[in-house]
Amino acid sequence: MGLYCCVRPEDAQKARERLAHVGLLDRRRRFSTQDDEVCLPVAGEVAESLAGIAAIMRDLPDRIIAKPREVKELLSEVLSADELSLLGSSYDIIGDIVLIELPPELEQKSAAIGQCYLQFHKGIRAIAAKAGMHVGEHRLQPVRVIAGEDNLTTVHHENGARLKLTLGKTYYSPRSAGERMRVASLVKPGEDVLVMFSGSGPYVLTLAKNSEAGKIVGVELNADAHALAEENAQRNKAAAGRIALHCGDANEVVPTLGQFDRIVMPLPKGAAGFFSTSLAACKDSAMIHYYFFCREKELQADCAYELTQLPTEGYDCSIVRCVACGGYSPGITRTCIDIAVKRKRHN
């Protein structure tokens, strides 16, 4: 049995449109007709949405609609073709939360859009939308729930690790999981690894779970992200013994931590300001994974130029490889330069 809103046939289309607009039309169930009524399946109280339309709420037997092959099929019922093109097709699933990009032009339909994703994805409890640009000292992007449970904390599984995350309080992208695994695959047994800007711990834990690194150290300025990283280290107890986490400015904290075989710098905007600190923390021979944004079609040239702009005095720095790690905007990609570092000997 399920809840249905029953209206006169002549009011059915108008009622359906209003319910869809506010996200109250339940598309998982079929509508039914009986006794000169059209009964629409609903997901909650509808009185305000149907002002001026005579309606009666009834409990009726459900008829479940076969699951659509893609969420676009549901979205096409509440969005025009032009609106669908504005929304785009890519989104992220982080734990039991779906995170979408919501253009300002579709703000008034956010509830209906959220309901479409919620109905399409089983096991998802909330739909969230990015609500602005990256702002503040920690470059965080505001996030808000548009459908489902109003809770942005979740547990996400990545590369064998369990990560507790609070969207909007720490930066995290599941799209970088493959890149984190790539770096872990390069770590040699016994290497000491430093992760600058370690956030809630995805790099640290991927390294701990998937490499034979000796010591893995993370440094993070954002206190909220650092607290999550500490909790995540305990959550993954088998890996926690090799992990040390520090909260503070990397330029101040890293010089107190000793030297490392490998340093990861996953801060595409602003990592150059920490490169001297990173070099000073290198052993005589080391590897730095340095991230920045560059032109997709000029990747090799931009990587070469970027290295010439970094402060390398006292060190021999050479590019081992340049790796495109995912699109940022049209024509621009997040890129990692794997930089081999050797400390110059002074006679």
Going from N- to C-terminal start, the domains of the chain cover 2-60, 71-151, 170-343
pLDDT digits over 30-80, tens only? Answer: 888 777 888 889 887 777 778 888 888 888 888 776 677 888 888 888 888
Helix axes 223-235, 202-210, angle to 10 degrees: 20
Most distant pair of Cα atoms in the chain: their distance: 98
* Average pLDDT estimate for 124-144: 81
Q: Is the four-CA dihedral 184, 273, 267, 249 of positive or negative sign? A: positive
Which segments within the chain are labelled E, that is strand?
A: 2-7, 32-34, 37-41, 55-60, 92-94, 97-101, 126-130, 143-148, 153-158, 161-166, 192-196, 215-220, 243-247, 260-265, 282-295, 315-329, 332-343
Distance CA 44, CA 3 (A): 8
The CATH H-level (homologous superfamily) assignment of domain 71-151 is Met-10+ protein-like domains (3.30.300.110)
Fold of 2-60: Alpha-Beta Plaits (3.30.70)
Going by C-alpha positions, the residue among 84, 82, 77, 159 that lies closest to residue 115 is: 77
- Residue 268 Cα to chain centre, angstroms: 15
| Residues near 185 by beta carbon (within 8 Å), at least 6 away in sequence | 210, 211
pLDDT at 136: 64
pLDDT at 219: 98
Going by C-alpha positions, the residue among 93, 120, 117, 119 that lies closest to residue 106 is: 117
Lookup: tokens for 167: 């969207």
Lookup: tokens for 45: 């109280």
Using the predicted structure, report yes or no on whether residue 296 has a pLDDT greater than 80.
yes
pLDDT digits over 256-274, tens only? Answer: 999 999 999 999 889 999 9
CATH classification for the domain delimited by 170-343, as one of 3.30.70.1450, 3.30.160.100, 3.40.50.150, 3.30.360.10: 3.40.50.150
Lookup: tokens for 106: 């579709």
Distance CA 255, CA 280 (A): 8
What pairs with residue 322 in β-bridges? 337
* Average pLDDT estimate for 116-143: 83
